[in-house]
Amino acid sequence: MQDIKIDYTNIMAPAIGKANGLIEENFTALSFRADKIHDDLVSRRKSGDKPFYDLPYKIKEAKELIKAASTIKKNFSNMVVLGIGGSALGTTAMLTALGRPMHNFVSSRKRGGVRLFVADNIDPDEFGALLSTLKLKDTVFNVVSKSGSTAETMSQFMIVLDLLKNKLGRGWKKHLILTTDAKEGILREIADTYRLKTFVVPDGVGGRFTAFTPVCLLPAASAGIDILGMLKGAARMDERCRTGDLRKNPAYLFASIHYLQDTLKGKKMTVMMPYSYRLKDVADWFRQLWAESLGKARDIDGNPVHAGQTPIKALGATDQHSQVQLYVEGPFDKLFCLLEVESFKTEMPIPEPFEDQPGISYLGGQSLNRLIAVEKDGTEYALTTNNRPNMTIKLPEVSAHTLGQLLYMLEVATAFAGGLYRVDAFDQPGVEFGKQYAYAMMGRAGYEKKKAEYESGKSKKRLVV
């Protein structure tokens, strides 16, 4: 199995100049702090404080999920995941990367599993259309919430529960699987009361770090995805990330580049741009991971810092025709991470029907594979020539093994970046403001004072055109 690699040539000053590029001394100056952060993370891992590190080795649990998925595939044609944020994005990334293209539109034999739908939003038009399209008798709903108090997910669950009871009668229970806390929370209480099938979100693993837990692995396995291959890939990346050497540890290198470009060169935004449809939702997953982990008002000592980079999602070659103009000639405030796939699963030759048209005939006899590779190189060249820092993560192919490596590397990079920024990468206090507002305005018990506070704080006069 081949390793993924990071080419960071175009991050450095020799490629893009000293104004925007890093020099070796920048990494050297960071080494002492990096060693301390590494030692702290290793210690916390050994103490069990950061259990996400050891998820790639939960092979027994993964095999149990595969067994459960086999039963699901025998009994149902469709699975709908009810979840949001970390309870949804990893699953979507895995399905897009490792499922068949147009997974939900091909036969069950070609899919190798259920049709998988991730209902990660509460837009009533979208959710209503999904429910009205699926045959309930052929559908299982996987409700994912560690606390069971996530307003969006639980509102969906309540709608689905009512629908199942009304349409299917006594058999409604077999159409529900709950993924939640082992002992506590509203969803656990509901599961125990109704004796519903459950899977456990491991203690100490926050939502955005749950890619290698039942949160994502159960629906992925049900869709026919090789979850053992992903875990093996993640374990391989873990081997590479055991060293504290910034230049040998891919995750630490990725984090250090981002931190140095942010703090020394003013790159407050980071653009992840896969040149692969299969990897487009990895960029979506990464946005939550990076933003929610590092975007903090205060550091670990309580000092105001307002840290974090804004992660942006792009897709090559599509966004060469929508965003790259800005990236090449706009403000010098962005760092770019291109994702390159060296070997696609499909070879797509271009025919030669227009030999008398020199404006397009040159394309004939070549392939889309060659064209997308050249276009990625062209974007890299344009960025570099215009002194824009960019690096490329190279995947030999998109497979369970390489995806496992990539996701795990980005998780470890995020944990390490938290140390560099001196923020807690594992909490999300800013998210709670919006949650509490929703609780109060929707009438949750115990939030009456909050509701009064919010209503009194609203501007009495709205400025609307």
Q: What are the pLDDT digits (tens) for 60-96?
A: 999 999 999 999 999 999 999 999 999 999 999 999 9
Does residue 234 surpass a pLDDT of 80?
A: yes
Instruction: With beta carbons less than 8 A apart as the criterion, state whether 86 and 208 touch.
Output: yes
pLDDT for 460 beyond 80: no
Following CA atoms 327, 329, 332, 334 in sequence, which dihedral angle do they give, to the nearest 10 degrees? 0
**The Cα angle at residue 82 between residues 270 and 273, in degrees rounded to 5:** 20
In whole angstroms, give the CA distance from residue 286 to residue 319: 18
pLDDT at residue 451, as a whole number: 85
Check 58, 146, 265, 292 and give the catalytic one.
292
Read off the pLDDT of residues 332-345 as tens digits, 9 standing for 90 and up: 999 999 999 999 99
Distance CA 163, CA 108 (A): 26
From the candidate CATH numbers 3.20.20.70, 3.40.50.1980, 3.40.50.2300, 3.40.50.10490, the one assigned to the domain spanning 5-44+231-421: 3.40.50.10490
The overall pTM is greater than 0.85: yes
pLDDT digits (tens, 9 = 90+) for 12-32: 999 999 999 999 999 999 999
Predicted pLDDT of residue 101: 87
Cβ–Cβ < 8 Å for 23, 13: yes
Q: Which of 5, 174, 435, 450 is catalytic?
A: 435
The rounded mean pLDDT for the chain is 96
Query: In this structure, which topology does domain 53-225 adopt according to CATH?
Result: Rossmann fold (3.40.50)
Amino acid at 57: Y
Instruction: Give 141's strand partners.
Output: 80, 176
H or E element: which one contains 393? Answer: strand 390-395
| Residue ranges covered by each domain of the chain | 5-44+231-421, 53-225
pLDDT at 440 over 90: no
- C-alpha 237/C-alpha 406 separation (Å) is 8
Q: Is the peptide bond before 19 cis (omega within 30 degrees of 0)?
A: no
Q: Are 13 and 389 in contact (CB under 8 A)?
A: no
Amino acid 424: pLDDT: 96
Does this chain's domain 5-44+231-421 share its CATH topology with 53-225? yes
Closest by Cα among 244, 282, 242 to 95: 282
Q: Is 103 a catalytic residue?
A: no
Q: What is the mean pLDDT of residues 375-394?
A: 99
State the Cα–Cα distance between residues 59 and 55, nearest whole angstrom.
9
**Helical pair 214-222 and 227-240, crossing angle rounded to 10 deg:** 140
Q: Over the stretch 294-311, which tens digit does the pLDDT of each residue have?
A: 999 999 999 999 999 999
Tens of pLDDT, residues 195-215? 999 999 999 999 999 999 999
User: Could you tell me the pLDDT band of residue 314, with boundaries at 50, 70 and 90?
Assistant: very high
pLDDT of 144-197, one tens digit each? 999 999 999 999 999 999 999 999 999 999 999 999 999 999 999 999 999 999
Which of 74, 321, 458, 460 is catalytic? The answer is 321
> How buried is 369 (Cβ within 10 angstroms: 0-12 exposed, 13-18 middle, 19+ buried)?
middle
Give kind and range of the element (H or E) at residue 119.
Answer: strand 115-119
Q: Is residue 435 flagged as an active site residue?
A: yes
Rounded to an integer, the average pLDDT of 436-463 is: 82
Q: Is 292 a catalytic residue?
A: yes
Residues 426, 431, 432, CA angle at the centre, nearest 5°?
100
Q: Does residue 457 carry a pLDDT above 80?
A: no
